């Protein structure tokens, strides 16, 4: 990308609201955003909803919320408006027809009146003679369109309201070339392309027409989108040429696919829940089937970790660094370093990223993330200072912030049960008696910190004639119900002597060896 380009940098993310935004779509939005911010450009969100049959309620709101969650800011879009509003294609419907008609005027497009049956018959005919079953420069001359019907008939059909579409008229054999910022030169012969519909019979533009017209009208400088749109690019290039907009044609960059963790193939909606990771940024419940797919947010990922991980799926910084804040990504990102080949999704790496972000947050920052969950689980009136101490004790073992609060239950109440397997292993005839001995010792001493409790425990073990190792686990189980947990004397200190004494007595009463 040359910085000397005088054109203002304007990029767009142009999703269709046909369902939840896939994590690959979030990556596309992210790359657009990084480039926009790096080059002082504008990030546009355009909702491509011309295919009313695929419209899914809630999908647009989901897209907006996902982008916000990941930290992608939109400068112009349906929510915040902008100089090219509206940013929803269905609301721009009246704008597109004139361009399709202008092409007809120039002899570069035509009306086609073929019915479904006509089209079917054409496909069958061509398939039977081993030809490409396409409506193209060859087959169009055998169809019902304004190239084959007389002028009068065309006029009559239009006047009587016969349904029609407008198709682009492609040259029979011509090279279509364009430069892709990631793939280099792409060359396609028009003989392999078909006369795509530009305007549908309901008067709506197709994706191709609306996309190109809007990119032009909105002054888009770079089209950065997924590889699945590469086959459409030659047609878009032809549209720029036909409409006389070649001079301002955006630069194209087609991003590599996100692949399944195992083997090849595009990462699909079903892979996530099958392999234990989300493929959607936020949880999504399908409005029709009621089926719920998990999201990164609800699975406890930090949005910063997700943005960082996504940026590196397909883009390689010049050094081997892996941790980047959004500001650092903006500085380091470049389209030249986006790879051509697909990027394999790696679940362990996703966990790793999250853990990095988790361990880099301060206790206070982490508390911000989990406080609502603590309150939900343990009551709105719980003490924040105490919760902060609990969090500091527990956090080390976790990859996900959301797992911390549920693991804190024994700081907020006595064990409802005790780990049976651990009891079977650790309890002896006299273990309960020893626990009562410990209770007595803690009651008599006035320990308040971890060191104090440890000293008291050691002295008590000696007095009871027990090794510390023999009573350590039973004491933990008595206090927490669990065989594993935070550093034991810190746990005692946080519970406080009175509670410790009560829990030891309770365990001695409830647990039978």
Tokens of 38: 């790096």
Dihedral sign for Cα atoms in the order 326, 69, 341, 195: negative
* Largest pairwise CA distance in the chain: 113
Nearer to ligand GLU, 15 or 314 (CB): 15
CA–CA dist 30, 80 (Å, integer) = 18
For ligand GLU, give the closer residue by CB, 211 or 431: 211
145: contact with ligand GLU by CB under 6 A: no
Q: 269, 349, 389, 402: which is the annotated catalytic residue?
A: 269
Q: Which stretch binds ligand GLU (CB under 6 A): 13-21, 133-141, 142-150, 415-423?
A: 13-21
Residue entry with tokens 């190792």:
469
66 touches ligand GLU (CB under 6 A): no
Q: Among the candidate windows 11-19, 52-60, 138-146, 351-359, which touches ligand GLU by CB under 6 A?
A: 11-19
Nearer to ligand GLU among residue 252 and residue 333 (C-beta):
252
Cβ atoms of 154 and 146 within 8 Å: the answer is: yes
Q: How many amino acids of this chain bind ligand GLU (CB under 6 A)?
A: 8
Q: Of these, 32, 211, 293, 434, which contacts ligand GLU (CB under 6 A)?
A: 211
Q: How many CB atoms lie within 10 A of CB 330?
A: 17
Query: Per CB under 6 A, does 103 bind ligand GLU?
Result: no
d(CA 454, CA 460): 10
Is 254 a binder of ligand GLU (CB under 6 A)? no
The Cα 262–Cα 277 span in angstroms is 13
**Active site includes 269?**
yes
Instruction: For residue 200, count other CB atoms closer than 10 A to its CB.
Output: 17
Question: In whole angstroms, how close is the CB of 487 to ligand GLU at the nearest point?
Answer: 51
Among 9, 10, 11, 15, binds ligand GLU (CB under 6 A): 15
Interaction of residue 136 with ligand GLU, rule CB under 6 A: no
* 9, 11, 14, 267: which one binds ligand GLU (CB under 6 A): 14
Using DSSP, state whether 463 is helix, strand or coil: helix
- Which of 379, 385, 422, 387 has its CA nearest to residue 407? 387
Long-range contacts of 385-388 (CB under 8 A, 24+ apart): 386/411, 386/494, 388/363, 388/364
Residue 483 C-beta: closest distance to ligand GLU, Å: 51
Instruction: Give the one residue of 229, 245, 371, 398 binding ligand GLU; rule: CB under 6 A.
Output: 229
Q: Quick one: which segment of 12-20, 269-277, 345-353, 454-462 binds ligand GLU (CB under 6 A)?
A: 12-20
Q: Is 220 helix (H, G, I), strand (E, B) or coil?
A: coil
At 223, which helix (H) or strand (E)? strand 222-226
- The reply on whether position 335 binds ligand GLU by CB under 6 A is no
Tell which one of 27, 88, 196, 225 touches ligand GLU (CB under 6 A): 225
Structure tokens at 468: 């510390």
The answer to whether residue 227 forms part of the interface with ligand GLU (CB under 6 A) is: no
> Which residue ranges make up the site for ligand GLU (CB under 6 A)?
14-16, 48, 207, 211, 225, 229
Catalytic residue numbers, as ranges:
269
């Amino acid at each position: 990308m040359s910085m000397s380009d005088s054109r203002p940098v304007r990029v767009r993310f142009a999703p269709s609201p046909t369902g939840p935004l896939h994590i690959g779509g979030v990556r596309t939005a992210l790359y657009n955003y990084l480039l926009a911010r790096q080059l002082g450009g504008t990030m546009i969100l355009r909702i491509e909803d011309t295919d009313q049959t695929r419209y899914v309620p809630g999908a647009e709101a989901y897209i907006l919320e996902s982008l916000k969650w990941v930290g992608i800011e939109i400068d112009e879009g349906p929510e915040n408006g902008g100089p090219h509003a509206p940013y929803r294609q269905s609301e721009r419907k009246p704008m597109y027809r004139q361009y399709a008609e202008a092409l007809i005027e120039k002899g570069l497009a035509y009306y086609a009146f073929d019915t479904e049956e006509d089209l079917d018959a054409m496909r069958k005919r061509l398939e039977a003679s081993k030809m490409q079953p396409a409506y193209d420069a060859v087959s169009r001359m055998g169809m019902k369109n304004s190239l084959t019907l007389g002028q009068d008939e065309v006029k009559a059909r239009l006047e009587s309201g016969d349904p029609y579409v407008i198709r682009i008229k492609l040259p029979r054999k011509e090279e279509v070339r364009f430069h892709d910022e990631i793939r280099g030169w792409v060359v396609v012969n028009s003989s392999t392309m078909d006369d795509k519909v530009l305007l549908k019979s309901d008067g709506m533009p197709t994706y191709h027409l609306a996309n190109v017209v809007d990119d032009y009208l909105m002054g888009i400088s770079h089209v950065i989108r997924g590889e699945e749109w590469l086959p459409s690019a030659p047609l878009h290039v032809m549209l720029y040429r036909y409409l006389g907009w070649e001079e301002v044609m955006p630069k194209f960059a087609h991003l590599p696919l996100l692949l399944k963790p195992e083997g090849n193939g595009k990462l699909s909606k079903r892979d996530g829940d099958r392999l234990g990771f989300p493929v959607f940024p936020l949880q999504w419940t399908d409005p029709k089937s009621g089926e719920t797919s998990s999201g990164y947010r609800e699975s406890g990922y930090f949005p910063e970790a997700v943005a960082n991980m996504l940026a590196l799926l397909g883009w390689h910084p010049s050094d081997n660094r892996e941790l980047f804040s959004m500001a650092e990504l903006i500085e380091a990102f470049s389209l030249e370093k986006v790879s051509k080949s697909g990027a394999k999704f790696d679940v362990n790496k996703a966990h790793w990223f999250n853990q990095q972000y988790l361990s880099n947050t301060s206790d206070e920052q982490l508390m911000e993330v989990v406080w609502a969950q603590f309150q939900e689980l343990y009551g709105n009136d719980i003490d924040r200072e105490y919760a902060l101490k609990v969090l500091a004790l527990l956090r080390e073992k976790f990859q996900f912030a959301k797992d911390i609060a549920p693991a804190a239950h024994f700081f907020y109440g006595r064990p409802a049960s005790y780990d049976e397997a651990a009891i079977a292993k650790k309890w002896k005839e006299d273990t309960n008696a020893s626990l009562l001995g410990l209770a007595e010792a803690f009651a008599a001493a006035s320990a308040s910190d971890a060191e104090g409790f440890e000293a008291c425990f050691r002295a008590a073990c000696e007095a009871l004639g027990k090794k510390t190792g023999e009573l350590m686990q039973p004491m933990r189980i008595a206090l927490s119900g669990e065989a594993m947990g935070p550093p034991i004397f810190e746990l005692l200190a946080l519970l406080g002597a009175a509670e410790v004494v009560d829990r030891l007595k309770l365990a001695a009463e409830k647990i039978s060896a």
